[in-house]
Structure 1
Amino acid sequence: MARAVEVTVDHFSYGTITPVLGYLMAVLGAALGLRCTVRALSEGHGRRKGWLVLGALALGSGIFTMHFIAMMGFTTGGVHLDYDLARAFASLAIAVVVVGAGLLLVGTARRTGPAVLGGGLITGAGIAAMHYVGMTGLVMTAEVRYAPAYVAASVVIAVVAAMLALWCAVAVRGLKAAVGASALLGIAVSGMHYTGMAAMSVHAHALSALDTRAPIETLMPILVVPLLLMLFTGLFVGLDPMASRVPERAGQRN
């Protein structure tokens, strides 16, 4: 058998459109997820879990959406790409469940340092797990290899930024803190994704003469579900009659 040749890959075949749009979607998901987490801290035990579930749906969907928008710009030289939908949606479920566990820890243990650190660790792990499980759904006639150092760096980026974001969200009040926390989580998701992609190399035995990318008609249906979940969460948060009183109530419970 012929020796596999490393294939040239391009992560920005549409220029800055996919990384910028992906980052904005990650920030939107983070803003909704953290907003629900702060809202949960103002509630009693029963309603608190409901808000944390909403937060996990929004944040997990934002992570997932950023990943697949970024993958629209992913091109391999001469290797056909496609996606296994079952694995793609499995990665969405993993993101929601693992991130939900991190938010639940913060939401139940409230503003303690260990809770924020533990929640950040779990949330960061969820971001990384979503990425690498999602990448197993990439179908192509080539072998994918990962550089361990870059993989480790991508996980560290996700965990550290997630810890900082959760600390900003629950320990510092005000619009600036909320915006800063959302921006940090957006950086965590995007930074983790592109560092993880830098860890990746593609090796194939046979190449065609054309650069290929996963078809848009495959990627767009994948994005419909998480976009609807974020829309649902956004409407729920926006219509919450107690939204304007959350900071006051949270302060009274400290």
Structure 2
Amino acid sequence: MTAIVAFVMACVGAGLGFRCLVRALDSRGATAYRWLLTAAVAIGSGIWTMHLIAILGFGVDGTPVRFDIPLTLLSLLVAVVVVTAGVFAVGRDRSRTRGVVLGGILVGIGIAGMHIVGMFAAEIHGTLSYDPVPMVVSVVIAVGVATLALMVAFLTTSFRGTAFAALLMGFAATAAEYTGFIGLQLDVTPGTSVLPGASAEEFIFPFIVVFGSFLFLSSAFVALSPIRHGGVAAATTPVAAQGRGSN
């Protein structure tokens, strides 16, 4: 059940982000950059919310599991910052193909990096390490499917296209997350000491409140900002090129 909810949250964040991306490609100057930033925050925070929900179902026999607070927040920062770089690569590059490929690589790295940092934040009675093979597979999934999602989002302004792209991005994030779980190697040493950090439940409530408020406000702005030009042609013109063309 947590896997389904995690997937849905990643799709919701990606869907909002891709609608903002459409607005960015339809805008110029500072307005375009604000839309790109909103898109990046929506996608990145949606991916991180997926991770939080996924770790709600992460348990280890013989030991409680808690999470180091600074490292967990660092995983959020990794997701948002690297995804921002990827979204801006898509929006600003004059070459459509290069922008989508570079953006997909960066978003995929952001997904994988977020997961790795987030799981190394786990505190257990014992040690945690990774099998490199599933980790490589998870990175390949994240990069490949994220690139396809950005390609779909970049080539269409339709709601159906955005929904399909959001499903792809949700799959990229969730499949990479759970493939990474497969690669976890745990060596449990039973103990009774109190583990530092916070539980996944203690993280999830405040962030869901913040993320839910962000989704509501951003969705309202998207709904009140219709696409002026419409069509795929408008959506395939990079932001940087639009800005230069208006001079």
Which TM-score band (shorter chain)? Answer: 0.7 to 0.9
Q: Residue 39 of structure 1 contacts residue 246 of structure 1 at CA under 8 Å; is this kept in 2? A: no
Q: Is 1:234 the counterpart of 2:219 in the alignment? A: yes
Q: Residue type matched to 1:247 in 2?
A: G
Cα shift readout 1:100-142 (whole Å, capped 9, x = no counterpart)? 0000011112561011001100111111111111112212222
Give the distance between the partners of 2:95 and 2:210, measured in 1 at CA.
32
For residues 246 and 182 of structure 1, do their structure 2 counterparts lie closer, same or farther at Cα, with a shift above 3 Å needed? Answer: farther
Gap change, CA 1:73 and 1:86, over 3 Å in 2: same
1:99 aligns with 83
- Please state whether the residue corresponding to 1:233 is helix, strand or coil: helix
Pair 137,159 (structure 1): closer, same or farther in 2 beyond 3 Å = same
* TM-score normalised according to structure 1 size: 0.84
Distance 2:68 2:209 in 1: 16
Normalising by structure 2, we get a TM-score of 0.86
| 2:28 is equivalent to residue 44 of structure 1 | yes
Please state how far the C-alpha of 1:157 moved relative to its aligned partner.
Answer: 0.3
The CA deviation at 1:232 is 3.2
Question: What do the CA deviations read for 1:142-169 (whole angstroms, capped 9, x no partner)?
Answer: 2112110100000000000110001001
Partner of 1:14: none
Amino acid at match of 1:172: T
Q: Which whole-Å CA distance do the structure 2 matches of 1:111 and 1:247 have between them?
A: 20
Task: Determine which of 61, 72, 78 is the counterpart of 1:77.
Answer: 61
Within 5 Å, give how 1:96-245 maps onto structure 2. 96-109=80-93, 112-206=96-190, 214=199, 216-240=201-225, 243-245=226-228
CA contact (8 A) 1:148 1:199 kept: yes
What's the offset of the Cα at 1:73?
0.9
State the secondary structure of the residue aligned to 2:60.
strand
Which has the larger strand fraction?
1
Over 3 Å counting, the alpha-carbon distance change for 1:63 and 1:224 in structure 2 is same
Identity %: 36
CA distance in 2, matches of 1:90, 1:228: 21
1:154-212 Cα distance to aligned partner (Å, 9 max, x none): 0000000110001001113422211110000000000000000011021112268xxxx
Question: How do 1:21-32 and structure 2 match up within 5 A?
Answer: 21-32=5-16
Q: Structure 1: which 5+ residue stretches go unaligned?
A: 1-16
Q: How many residues align?
A: 232
Q: What's the C-alpha RMSD, in Å, of the aligned pairs?
A: 2.2
Aligned equivalent of 1:33: 17
* 1:75–1:50 CA distance, 2 compared to 1 (3 A): same
Q: Is the counterpart of residue 20 in structure 1 residue 23 in structure 2?
A: no
Distance in 1 (alpha carbons) for counterparts of 2:34 and 2:210: 20
Q: Which 5+ residue runs of structure 2 have no aligned equivalent?
A: 193-197, 238-247
